[in-house]
Chains A and B, each alone.
Chain A
Amino acid sequence: MLKNSSSHYGLISVVLHWLVALTVFGLFGVGFWMVDLSYYSEWYRTAPYWHKSVGILLAIAMLLRVLWRYFSPPPRALVSHKGWEKRTSAVVQFCLYLGIFILVLSGYLISTEDGRPIAVFTWFDVPALGALFANQADIAGLVHEYVAYSLITLAVLHGLAALKHHFIDKDNTLKRMFGRKP
């Protein structure tokens, strides 16, 4: 089943969810590591190139995800979920989406201030809009850094909450995210 039903996630949502999760943690790790690379490191050029390429692909995946959410809404929350749990998870999920989009946008603004496009591997270029405001690269850089730390914190909490549902509440919240029927 590709589409979501009212009770379980379809393959497309499941794959997109885990792909994005893996990518977000991967990009965070690479970003955290690459900013301190020395000039003579063999990764000095490669790591940012991959970080940017994968970041743009992540943006595309997220746009697809939002579109897919519209065409195939996620299943209803489990009946065992309390009201505050539903509200909190909705807010967290919204912030995770928002955080990823802010990260992609701020990353784009760092690299394109001088009018240079962003190369996505050797496949295509994302054109630059140039400098849109003063101190663009610096401001966007700070936003990118703080939002990255916030997003990863929130993502870890999101994961811990899923584990809490699995091990403490012993419900199907986490299993459902692997596409299993409850």
Chain B
Amino acid sequence: MKKLLLAASMAAMMTIPAQAADYVIDTEGAHAFVQFKISHLGYSWLYGRFNTFSGDFSYDANKLEASKIQLTIDTNSVDSNHAERDKHLRSGDFLNVSKHPKATFVSTKIVPKAGESFDLHGNLTLNGVTKEVVIAAEKLGEGKDPWGGYRAGFAGTTTLTLKDFAINTDLGPASATVQLDLTVEGVRK
């Protein structure tokens, strides 16, 4: 009887399709990046990043549309490798971090595309303004890591218009938009 029950339960487990798994974004090991680039005068790129953020996602390779992600960014952690510029970026001229210390992204919809690509729709709250954005994303890979865990990684990019998020400082015509580049590696919970 015992054996039968065991066999039955094992059989049941095997027939259950792979469920959406929950992942925590690996900020602890810093295998995730929230970076941006913006044109400088139309002549070159300026790169920056947010050093402190956290988030998690659920992901099901077989049912991508059901996947979800949420990300919270500490805007105070903006880093463009220049103390005076970072101070300016934190000020009311740009990110207004004392008033809006957090930026968040919460996904609302996923539209699969060819291969591993998909459009990640969601609400981005930045500088106190919430707007729907579409992140062009792709899965980079997934599998076991060498330390007993299971990881999945994604990259995505989207372009934001500064004025849409009430950032009205004029940086010139070539710098009205900023490209946001996200790379997240999640560790299965």
Residues of A within 8 A of B (CB): 38-40, 48, 110-114, 116, 135-138, 141
Contacts and interface: CB of A to CB of B under 8 A. Distances in A.
A137 B86 contact: yes
Interface string B76-91: 1000011110110010
B84 A110 contact: yes
A38 B175 CA distance: 14
B45 to A, nearest CB: 16
A154 to B, nearest CB: 26
B7 interface: no
A111 B83 contact: yes
Given A137-B86, A138-B87, A40 B81 contact: no
Nearest to A109: B83
Given A39-B171, A114-B81, A114-B86, 7 more contacts: A39-B172, A48-B84, A114-B83, A136-B83, A137-B86, A137-B87, A138-B90
B169 interface: yes
24 contacts: A38-B170, A39-B170, A39-B171, A40-B170, A40-B172, A48-B84, A110-B83, A110-B84, A110-B87, A111-B83, A111-B84, A113-B83, A114-B82, A114-B84, A114-B86, A116-B82, A135-B76, A136-B83, A137-B84, A137-B86, A137-B87, A138-B87, A138-B90, A141-B87
A111 B82 CA distance: 9
Nearest to B175: A39
Contacts of A40: 170, 172
A112 B170 contact: no
Contacts of A135: 76
A110 B87 CA distance: 9
Nearest to B82: A114
B169 to A, nearest CB: 7
A116 B80 CA distance: 13
Contacts of B76: 135
Nearest to A115: B83
A90 to B, nearest CB: 36
Most buried by A among B76, B82, B83, B169: B83
B171 A116 contact: no
Interface in B69-104: 76, 81-84, 86-87, 90
Interface in B33-53: none
Interface in B7-31: none
A110 B88 CA distance: 11
Contacts of A111: 83-84
